[in-house]
Structure 1
Amino acid sequence: MTRMEWYNALAKPSWTPGGGTIGLIWTLLYPVIVVSFGWVFVRAVRGQIPRAVAVPFAINLVANLCFTPIQFGLRNLPLAAADILVVLGTIVWCMVAVWPHVRWVAVAQIPYLVWVGIATVLQLSITAANG
């Protein structure tokens, strides 16, 4: 069974967005993530902001990149649910950590936070329905 056949066979809430919608949302979010995270990493390396500010951004990046292999490669719904909770929590941590240094980066995370909040509820719903 392909990964999409597996995913389509899962019980999901009626409000689950289609694949095209999910793809479009990530297509819009990734440039914002690249620019804002890149700004933080460059400034931290240059010593213009404390390196500790970059820690939640790094953790978020790793957790975000791990979600698809966990969800679709391992097909491990509980682990994917735990991973997306890390993604959600680190977005909030990123916003709090960077706010005193550069507010536009914190504000730029709002659409990412909203989408991952929705995606977290979706993932937790799918996990519960298929556990």
Structure 2
Amino acid sequence: MTWLEWYNTLSKPGWTPTPGTISLIWQILYPIIIVSFGYVFVQTGRGKLTNATAVPFAINLVANLCFTPILFGMRNLPLATLDILIVWSTIVWMMVKVWPRVRWVAIAQLPYFVWVSIASVLQISIFWMNRGV
């Protein structure tokens, strides 16, 4: 069974976005993430931002990249739910950490935060609805 066939067999809330909508959202978010994260990592490398400022960005990047393989590769709903909560919490941490130093980077995370908040509720819902499967 392909990952899409597997995903389609899961119970999901009626408000679940279509795969096309999810793809479009990420096409908008990834450039924002690349520019803002890249800025933080470059400025950290230049010594203009502390390593402590870059840590939540690094953790977020790793957790974000792990979500798809965990959910669709491993098909592990509990671990994917934990992972997306790490993504969500590190966005909050990133925004708090970078706000005093580079406010535009913190503000640039708002669309990412909104989407991951929605995606987190969706993932928790899918996990809960399929917990006995």
TM-score tier after normalising by the smaller chain length = over 0.9
Paired amino acid for 1:35: V
Normalising by structure 1, we get a TM-score of: 0.99
Output the amino acid matched with 1:27: Q
Letter in 2 for 1:117: S
Query: What stretches of structure 1 move > 4 A for 4+ residues in a row?
Result: none
RMSD: 0.3
2:90 alignment counterpart:
90
Alignment of 1:18-97 (within 5 A): 18-97=18-97
In 2, the alpha carbon distance for the partners of 1:110 and 1:44 equals 21
The aligned amino acid for 2:48 is Q
AA in 2 matched with 1:46 = R
C-alpha separation in 2, matches of 1:41 and 1:97: 14
Stretches of structure 1 lacking an aligned partner (at least 5 in a row): none
Matched AA of 1:12? K
Aligned to 1:113: 113
Question: Which residue type is aligned with residue 51 of structure 1?
Answer: N
2:15 counterpart SS class: coil
Query: What is the deviation of 1:50?
Result: 1.0
What is the aligned length? 131
**Taking structure 2 as the reference length, what is the TM-score of the superposition?**
0.98
Q: How many angstroms does 1:78 deviate by?
A: 0.3
* Cα distance in 1 between the residues matched to 2:50 and 2:15: 41
Q: Kindly provide the amino acid, as one letter, of the partner of residue 45 in structure 2.
A: V
